[in-house]
Amino acid sequence: MQYVVFDDMTQCTEQDVQRLLSIVPQWRCEQALRYKHVFGQWTCLKAWELWAELLHENGWKSETCSAWEYNEYGKPFWSRGPQFSLSHCKEAVAVAINEKPIGIDVESIRHYDPALVERTMNPAEQKQVTNAPNPAREFVRLWTQKEAVVKCIGTGIVDDLREVLNRHPLLEIQTLDYPHYVLSWAHE
């Protein structure tokens, strides 16, 4: 498993969007331009650029980076190479590749919302969050783990979020804490 995180969000400019539009395939440009704001366009394009760079580092030629396909839940996949996963938030863009299914999620530390904790966490996780020195960070840690798992298994958030970590104990889950965001990935 390999991953890359890009968090120099100062590059999120109209000029960098134009630069990326000139090097990214037309199908991804069309996806990016569906976003109304520059930030969404830039993160969409930057995720593709990071994905292509990871592939290149692993011996794949950029001209083979053809359009992605999507499963029934909307998870992108590439039938010509390794499994991959993408994520972005206001603080970072993250991409992972692996020979087996992979899921990655990056989330900004945000305001602590007890109602959201109750809706998305099982009782043990709720206790873990509320007893943590920083409940907001602990919530985001668990949330990124859950989202990484549902991306890995390919279902997205249609799965039962309260029990998703308990229902997939064979997946390896890693979490990294950064000052303003948390990154987690899950793989077989």
Domain of residue 52: give its range: 2-103
Q: Are residues 117 and 29 part of one domain?
A: no
DSSP character string of 39-92: HHHHHHHHHHHHHHHHHHHTT--GGG----EE-TT--EE-TTS-EEEEEE-SS-
114-163: pLDDT as tens digits: 999 999 999 999 999 999 999 999 999 999 999 999 999 998 776 688 99
Q: How far is CA 150 from CA 14, 86, 118, 137, in A?
A: 33, 13, 19, 20
Residue 6 and residue 48 in one domain: yes
Quick check: 109 and 142 in contact, CB under 8 A? no
Statement to judge: residues 11 and 41 lie in one domain: yes
pLDDT digits (tens, 9 = 90+) for 44-94: 999 999 999 998 998 876 566 667 888 888 888 887 778 999 999 999 999
13 lies in the same domain as 58: yes
The dihedral built from the CA positions of residue 55, 39, 186 and 153, taken in this order, carries a sign that is negative
